[in-house]
Amino acid sequence: MNNDPPPSLPLFTRAQLALRNGQDKPEIWIACRGFIYDVGESRLWHGGKHYEHWAGQELSEELADAPHTEQVLERFPLIGRLV
């Protein structure tokens, strides 16, 4: 993962992240290790769901069971930090 995130990333709360679940608002965001990514352009996150995972959440723990590493998130725009 990118070890040098931009220092001026906007901060978002868990409540703000939860609204970006692809259902309450059009954005589809997920968080990992405190960073928030916009996965809305991914066909795998259509409707805010990716297999048994839901957008609008911090998914660090769930990534441990994924068939890929968290480096897959480098494909998506880094848009903020979770506070």
pTM score, whole prediction: 0.84
| pLDDT, position 3 | 53
| pLDDT, position 72 | 87
Q: Which of 2, 65, 54 is nearest to 31 (CA)?
A: 54
CATH architecture of the region 11-82: Roll (3.10)
Q: Give the tens place of pLDDT for each residue, 18-68.
A: 999 999 888 999 999 999 999 999 988 888 888 788 899 999 987 777 767
> Is 17:29 a contact under the CB 8 Å cutoff?
yes
State CA 56 to chain mean position distance: 7
| CB count in 10 Å sphere of residue 25 | 14
| pLDDT, position 67 | 64
